[in-house]
Amino acid sequence: MWPGFLLLFFISFFLGPSSDLTIISNLEKKLQEIKSLEADFIQIYFPAYESQGIKEKGRLYLRRPDQMRWDYFEPEKKCFLLKGDILLSYFFEDKQIVRQPLDEEIIKQSILGLLTGKTKLLDLYSAEIIARDAKSQSITLKLEPLEDQEITKVLLEIDTRRWLIVKIVFYEASGVRQEFLFSRHKFNPTLSPKIFDIPVPEDWEIINSWPQDKKKF
């Protein structure tokens, strides 16, 4: 699963104890109000049935309706740029860019769908509150897909003081687990169009994933 894959969002009021449906309804409503977003992220990839994960750090940029950029700084510099239904993957050490289309269903099931607002949670998942932390005023939601798919479970940790999604955990049928932690959010910043238009150096190799060919730029 591409990082692929959510989030970070302010909500302007505190809702007190709420039902699963109320939490999701209000969260989705507030997410829809976000036109642009910046946030730091930590992504931890756990191979199947392993307790030791691989940690990466970077910065996320989002502009509705369909532009998203994930800049990875540690341990390897790379970038994933979503423009509509096309994913561009930049690998700086290898001097390569990979271009591939993403099916609408894949986007909806991944972190991309949550962040871009393409995913309506209750259309795809059942929801249950599994934890409340009074000290941090956080709630953890467990989402399970209504139909069989690669993702078998999603956990959303929500900070109810500001109504931020601060952590997402994806569980895959293969046993792989991916965690995303978000911080230092900026809501509705003015983002330059250049953020979503990365020039490709002349000596880079372009790899198209749909016909299987390679060519120099």
Q: What does the pLDDT read at residue 115?
A: 62
Taking CA atoms, 120 is separated from 29, 116, 143, 176, 210, in Å, by 10, 11, 12, 24, 28
The answer to the question of residue 9 being in a domain is: no
The answer to the question of residue 134 being in a domain is: yes
The answer to the question of residue 10 being in a domain is: no
Q: What does the pLDDT read at residue 31?
A: 72
Q: What does the pLDDT read at residue 181?
A: 96
| Closest listed residue to residue 36, CA positions, set 153, 156, 159, 196 | 196
The answer to the question of residue 1 being in a domain is: no
Specify the number of domains making up the chain: 1
| Closest listed residue to residue 158, CA positions, set 134, 144, 178, 138 | 138
Do β-strands 96-101 and 205-208 pair in parallel, antiparallel, or remain unpaired?
parallel
Q: What does the pLDDT read at residue 4?
A: 39
Tens digit of each residue's pLDDT (9 = 90 or more) over 146-176: 988 888 999 989 887 777 789 999 999 999 9
Residue ranges of the chain with pLDDT lower than 50? 1-17, 211, 213-217
The answer to the question of residue 8 being in a domain is: no
Q: What does the pLDDT read at residue 88?
A: 95
> What is the value of pTM for the model shown?
0.80
Identify the CATH number of the domain in which residue 63 sits.
2.50.20.10
Q: What does the pLDDT read at residue 209?
A: 83
Q: What does the pLDDT read at residue 195?
A: 95
The answer to the question of residue 13 being in a domain is: no
Domain that holds residue 108: 20-216
Tens digit of each residue's pLDDT (9 = 90 or more) over 61-78: 999 888 999 999 999 999
CB atoms within 10 A of CB 207: 17
The answer to the question of residue 6 being in a domain is: no
Q: Tell me if the bond preceding 101 is cis, omega within 30° of 0.
A: no
Q: What does the pLDDT read at residue 69?
A: 95
Q: What type of residue sits at position 128? A: E
Sign of CA dihedral 138, 17, 186, 5: positive
The answer to the question of residue 15 being in a domain is: no
